[in-house]
A and B are shown apart, each in its own frame.
Chain A
Amino acid sequence: MIRIFANANYDFIAYRKWAYGLTALIVVPGMLLMAARGVNYSIEFTGGALVQVRDTAGTMDIGGVRDALTEGGLPGAEITEFGGTSEFVIRARLEAQAGVGEAAAQATAAQVDSALSRAYGHGFLIARVEAVGPKVGGELRSRALLAVLMSFVAVLAYLALRFEWRFGLAAVLATAHDIITTLAFISYMDLEVSLVVVSAILTVVGYSLNDTIVIFDRTRENLHKYKREDLAGILNRSVNETLPRTIITNSTSLAALIALLVFGGPVIRPFAWVMAFGVFTGTFSSIYIAAPVLLLIERRWPGQDARGVKARVMPAGHGGAPPPTADAKPPRVPTP
């Protein structure tokens, strides 16, 4: 049988400062970049029109399309190639103009169509149109934000119920870390933040939690098994014990995502990018953020319940909660 990282014994916790440094190295420039360039929201969020055209006559190029649009009264439209060189995506946002009505997006889409018709006649097909009024865009933006925040609350509540509030807080902080690094990644890649990308971020949240919970589950178990060991040692042990699973699972996830990235087509590609990065950051944060943060929280707010209360919520299959015995660590005196 092939075994990788069997009986691994790396001192992950000792290197946590390096990990924090690495995170900062990714996040800080990413955030600066985002501040400088602004978030590249899709028209779904800003309001505006997106028209995707397919060149059927072989006469279109970006320069020509831009000229046609400028002539048609849309000088500020963004034009990008989609997939190959025979399809173009034209985006015209509404945010710049104040006081536009809800129908402005529709009008803009029609304007694109007529400008291109004047220049190219019937030499193109419209493959996709999205026209979103500014009000709907604002609604979508606040709903997306609400969904991310609600996912925090839901997860915190669930983990507090199943584990203990310290675990929940550590998991949520690790997840927040993942969202921030993913945003930094989006900023490096200059990806457009669309509904699909927001769903990718939420899925990254789910994935990262998945990883964190597997390690915490082992931690919970080991806290009972090795009552004399300190938390740092137990965390290290748990991360090492689950390391083979972490590697195998994330390799299969990455394999599926690489297939999506390569073969899934341009529509799904931003999703695959964000998810692929999310698998890395989710794994990293489970090991280097969630575990050390749990240690930090435990040192800041120590208490016997870190061991004791968990026993109460253990399912019966684990042999129930052993009563505190002499070999249990003496409770620390809380600092005022």
Chain B
Amino acid sequence: MFDNLKTRVAAIGVLVVLSAWALWPRDTTTRTRGADGAYRDTVVRQINLKRGLDLQGGIHLALELDESRGRVPNCSDAIDRALRVIRTRIDEFGVAEPLVQKEGACRIVVELPGISDPGRAKDIVQRSAFLEFQMTDKQGLFRAALPAIDRALAAAGVTEAGIGRRVAGAADSARGAQAGAPASALEDLLGGARPADTAQGRRDTTRADSLGSTLGGTLSTLLFAGQMDGEFLVAEEKFVAVDAMLRHPAAERLVPRGIVWRWGVEPESRGARSYRRLYALEQRPIMTGEELVDAQARLDPIYNQAVVDFQLSRRGGRIFERETGRHVGDNMAIVLDGRVQSQPPVIRSQIGSRGQIELGSASLQEAQDLALVLKAGALPAPLQIVEERTVGPTLGADSIRDGIIAGVVGVALVVLLVIGYYRLSGVLAVAALGLYVLFTLGGLAALGATLTLPGIAGFALSITIAVDANVLIFERLREELEHGKSVRLAVDAGFKMAMNAIVDSNVAMVLTAALLFQFGTGPVKGFAVTLILGVAASMVTAIFVTRTFFLLYMSRRQLQTLSI
């Protein structure tokens, strides 16, 4: 298949293009939420190589249930509930690329890159959830106030584009201040985020909608009526602008007394577009999660629909009975940590200490999720931090600088040794090594791997493995030449005979690296991934690319001797 020299060169070309494409910097939008609670979209143009916590600074937490005040019978279930709560909260906290996942049955791992205040992060993660039941704005007070809000926003000179620009500008200047020293090209290569040129950033975050700017009604044109009173739909891409407008002082003043607005928890897609729900709710909650004892999801066999049964404490039951009696036929929003969970269900009749939420056509899965949320309001036991790793941003920056210097010096030494010893053949090998570096980094970017300091070390080591493959081939080649073979035959034999040793030794390396991946935590995993990818790429370059270079070199001339 690869006998033809042209096919070989084409195959290498394809690999190069694929790797370069994987590494090409692209715009990514991160949505974060600042301390003031406002959302911000930041667009940065960066290479798709994430830096690990040890390089960019951040906090890694492992949490377990604190059972010192009584055992928790089903820790997996309790952890599921806690996981959901923490996800919602981390979203509120406003971190780019957070990681919240369950590890094993009874542990949660939270990773927050680039956090400067670990104390606040720990507080937010450990705080117990706040659950409220609030009635939707049945009288349409919020809707009635919209024209006034539109006028006030217009008077204040707020446009959708204007709001966007301010946000982007603020984010950019924050980025600039943070960046400090000019980022070098290499830092950029290693995933150092650099703000995109401002024009680019603006175009992406603030694409003006002609409808919104020509029809006036700054805010109202962005809202679509939902299925019930007090429910609105907002296109996902306008979400940040709407959030910023509602927070604008001019608008805030005009939100009717006793009414609050809350976002739905997740965007939902309708056809090709994605929408976020916005709810106007009565400010006073009719019940909070403190009184909730239990919640269970089940399938109602009679009506064949998913329902959630919940139980309140005796005191809570009395209050709830009174409140729901007044609101039969109305929609009640279930709000967890300030976000409306699922679509507000209708209250069918007075509810006492045992209630039932009917979810209509929703699946059992959705019902189970809702039951989890309800129970999360009353966590069975507090969470405790069993492992913490925090790396400050300065240490991370030092590590990157040291890692890059060591990497560059190491590679330079290796290149000098190889070219010094093997001469022209060494140059061919180094050219293949250049491609090897490209393939490995491209592979890392394509996998979305995270680069850690041990990862950089693994990369430096895998270069020596790539060199080893070339050394095996060259030494073999020399032996064959000494046995009196012609250059062409010696090259063929050298590559063929070295193959076994290369494959066997590399497989052994990959086996140990795979075990490292299995047992390691963050940084060690990063090391294993770069090592595995590096070894794989080194086999491709040594066996295929270097050989092609030799064939190319020999195809032009009749060689009697070979510089090796």
Which residues of B348-401 have CB atoms within 8 Å of chain A's CB atoms?
384-392, 394-395, 398-399, 401
Supposing A131-B385, A199-B524, A245-B471 touch, asked if A154 and B406 sit within 8 A by C-beta, the answer is no
Contact assessment for A210 and B505 in the assembled complex, using a CB-CB cutoff below 8 Å: yes
A residues in contact with B509, CB < 8 Å: 206-207, 209-210
Q: Say whether A127 faces chain B, with CB atoms less than 8 Å apart.
A: yes
Given contacts A1-B563, A155-B511, A265-B398, contact A147 B516 (CB under 8 A): yes
Quick check: is A3 within 8 A (CB to CB) of the other chain? Answer: yes
Given A253-B464, A271-B454, A217 and B500 contact (CB-CB distance below 8 Å): yes
Residue numbers in B under 8 Å from A114 (CB-CB): none
**B512 cross-chain contacts in A, Cβ below 8 A:** 151, 154-155, 202-203, 205-206, 209
Residues of A within 8 A of B411 (CB): 256
B447 at interface, CB cutoff 8 A: no
Say whether A214 contacts B472, CB under 8 Å.
yes
Of B403, B421, B504, B564, which contacts A264 at CB under 8 A?
Answer: B403
Q: State A236–B338 Cα separation when bound (angstroms).
A: 75
A112 to B460, CA, bound (A): 36
Instruction: Determine the distance from Cα of A10 to Cα of B394 in the docked complex, in whole angstroms.
Output: 53
Contacts of B499 in A (CB 8 A): 317
Residue-wise, chain A 207-218 has the 8 Å CB interface mask toward B (1 for contact) of: 101110110011
| Cβ–Cβ < 8 Å partners of B386 in chain A | 102-103, 105, 132-133, 135-136
- A105 to B387 CA separation, bound complex (whole angstroms): 8
Q: Which of A130, A155, A213, A317 gathers the greatest number of chain B CB atoms within 10 Å?
A: A213
* Bound-state Cα–Cα, A144 to B515, Å: 10
What does DSSP make chain B's interface, helix, strand, loop or mixed?
Answer: helix
Q: Of B62-70, B151-159, B187-195, B304-312, which binds chain A?
A: B62-70
Residue of B62, B118, B402 contacting most chain A CB atoms (<10 Å): B402
**Which of A147, A241, A252 is B518 in contact with, Cβ under 8 Å?**
A147
* In the complex, per-residue mask of B431-472: 1 if CB is within 8 Å of any chain A CB, else 0: 000000000000000000000011001001101110110011
Please measure, in the bound complex, the distance between the C-alpha atom of A130 and the C-alpha atom of B386, giving whole angstroms. Answer: 11
- The one of A129, A132, A150, A249 that contacts B515, using a Cβ cutoff of 8 Å: A150
**Chain B CB within 8 A of A267 CB:** yes
Give the complex CA separation of A315 and B503 in angstroms: 12
**Which residues from B are CB-within-8-Å of A252?**
413-414, 417-418, 464, 467-468, 471
Within the assembled complex, what's the spacing in Å between the Cα atoms of A241 and B391? Answer: 49
Q: A146: CB under 8 A from chain B?
A: yes
Please determine whether B68 and A263 come into contact, CB atoms closer than 8 angstroms: no
B103 CB → nearest A CB, Å: 11
Q: Is the CB of B418 within 8 A of A271?
A: no
Q: Are the C-beta atoms of A103 and B501 separated by less than 8 Å?
A: no
Which residues of the partner chain B approach A63 to less than 8 Å between Cβ atoms?
A: none
Tell me which of A101, A199, A255, A315 contacts B410 (CB under 8 A): A255
Which chain B residue has the least Cβ–Cβ distance from A54?
Answer: B394
With both chains docked as a complex, state the minimum distance between the C-beta of B393 and any C-beta of chain A, in angstroms: 9
- Distance between Cα atoms of A133 and B385 in the complex (Å): 8
| CB < 8 Å neighbour of A196 from B387, B418, B524 | B524
B464 and A249 contacting across the interface, CB-CB below 8 Å? yes
* A187: interface (CB < 8 Å): no
Looking at the assembled complex, report how far the CB atom of B428 sits from the nearest CB atom of chain A, in whole angstroms.
14
- Cβ of B475 and Cβ of A213 under 8 Å apart? no
What's the Cα separation between A262 and B413 when bound, in Å?
13
Let me know if B54 is at the binding interface, CB within 8 A: yes
Once bound together, how far apart are the Cα atoms of A195 and B528, in whole Å? 13
Beyond the given A206-B513, A241-B479, please list 17 additional residue pairs across the A-B interface where CB-CB is below 8 A: A1-B478, A6-B478, A131-B385, A131-B388, A132-B386, A140-B521, A147-B519, A199-B516, A203-B527, A213-B505, A245-B468, A245-B475, A249-B464, A253-B468, A267-B453, A268-B406, A268-B453
- A-B contacts, 17 listed (Cβ < 8 Å): A106-B384, A130-B390, A136-B387, A147-B519, A154-B511, A162-B504, A209-B509, A210-B465, A210-B505, A214-B501, A245-B475, A248-B475, A249-B471, A252-B471, A265-B399, A268-B399, A268-B453
